[in-house]
Amino acid sequence: MFSAILIEKGDEGQSVAVTEAEEGQLPEGDVSVEVEYSTLNYKDGLAITGKSPVVRKFPMVPGIDFAGVVTESTHADWKQGDRVVLNGWGVGETHWGGLAQKAQVNGDWLVPLPS
């Protein structure tokens, strides 16, 4: 289990809550990351408040960026313990984003975190 901000949408509109998610809920990806940092920017604010149609797929964890440590990987470029950063790639719109303690993403989207 891990904490995440989760945006859901039903017949009565959008709802947002800090919740406990299960790792099985994470979207497809070949790299798992323990998220250490993320930012809250204007686009994330629009997604969370529902003021603009930023989120394209529900349920969604917002957060267009994150930095953290690889915990598991089947991607050739990443191994456990690697420090990485991600920004963009539809994260927070069509793929769960960084406002959670864990993320699972396509390893091609990651960049090594500079020392």
d(C-alpha 15, C-alpha 6), whole Å: 8
**How is the chain split into domains, by residue range?**
2-112
Tokens coding 114 = 């500079």
Please say if the pLDDT value at position 115 is more than 90: no
d(C-alpha 101, C-alpha 56), whole Å: 22
Query: Would you say 94 and 24 are in contact if contact means Cβ atoms under 8 Å apart?
Result: no
Please say if the pLDDT value at position 6 is more than 90: yes
Q: What is the pTM of this model?
A: 0.93
Kindly report the CATH number that applies to the domain delimited by 2-112. Answer: 3.90.180.10
pLDDT confidence of residue 43:
93
Closest CA to 96 of 41, 42, 44, 36: 44
Instruction: Give the pLDDT confidence of 36-90 residue by residue, as tens digits.
Output: 999 999 999 999 999 888 999 999 999 999 999 999 999 999 999 999 999 999 9
- The mean pLDDT value of the chain amounts to 96
CB atoms within 10 A of CB 110: 24
